[in-house]
Amino acid sequence: MGVASGLVIDWDAQPDTSSWNALTADGYYTNHDPVNGNTLFAADVMVRPGFQGQGIGRRLYERGRLGLARQLGLWRVVAGSRLRGYARYADKLSAQQYVDEVVAGRLNDPTLSFQLHLGFRVTAVIGDYFKGDPESLGWAAIIEWINDEVDQGTARTK
Ligand SMILES: CC(C)(COP(=O)(O)OP(=O)(O)OC[C@H]1O[C@@H](n2cnc3c(N)ncnc32)[C@H](O)[C@@H]1OP(=O)(O)O)[C@@H](O)C(=O)NCCC(=O)NCCS
């Protein structure tokens, strides 16, 4: 009733981190690098409508993503959170202002608020991440979760 996919990437060797297409090799995941990679890039997650709000997304994240990062000794999990609620505010707020409001809890975004609730933090807000998406207008918040079970100094340069 839900699915999540991701790949391990060597973030510093990744030539382009500016869009979902670049980070997933246009969706083919051929940049998956389990030997040198230090970051789990959480590329996709979805729970079937009608089954949302029942804890499936939490399990996909906690077991499938954070659990996998712990198991593999990865430094962190990174995702691009498509700002699904942004289009409704775009005439009033910049994307950065929208994200600030969501982080402060004054606005709720259907995806970003869920991810913040699970312990992620926003590191950047970028445009042209999902070109042509009418809900986000292409904007995404880059979010990360740091694996505190690994030594950050060594894991980061693995
Ligand atoms: C985002 C999505 C994966 C969440 O999955 P879900 O199964 O509905 O989420 P869960 O029921 O597991 O919720 C987990 C927790 O997050 C909280 N949560 C979920 N949505 C939230 C929101 N909009 N704001 C605040 N908290 C939220 C829940 O209350 C729950 O809290 P708890 O476990 O402490 O009680 C799902 O809604 C979805 O598939 N959306 C459409 C696809 C999508 O947006 N994918 C991401 C593309 S970048």
pLDDT tens per residue across span 46-105: 999 999 999 999 999 999 999 999 999 999 999 999 999 999 999 999 999 999 999 999
Atom of ligand 1 nearest to the CA of 59: 12
Give the whole-angstrom CA distance, residue 115 versus residue 15: 26
110 CA distance to ligand 1 middle (Å): 7
Give the whole-angstrom CA distance, residue 156 versus residue 121: 18
Name residues contacting ligand 1 (CB within 6 A).
45-47, 52-58, 81-82, 84, 108, 110-111, 113-114, 117
Count of domains for the chain: 1
Average pLDDT value over all residues in the chain: 94
Which residue, chain included where needed, has tokens 């997933």?
24
The model's pTM: 0.94
Q: Which of 58, 60, 62, 143 to mutate to test the pocket of ligand 1 (most atoms within 8 A of CB)?
A: 58
Q: Which domain holds residue 35?
A: 2-155
On whether the CB atoms of residues 11 and 123 are closer than 8 A, the answer is no
Residue 23 three-state SS:
helix
For 5-15, the pLDDT digits (tens) are 999 999 989 98
154 CA distance to ligand 1 middle (Å): 33
CA atoms within a 13 Å half-sphere pointing along the CA-CB vector of 115: 31
| pLDDT score at 110 | 96
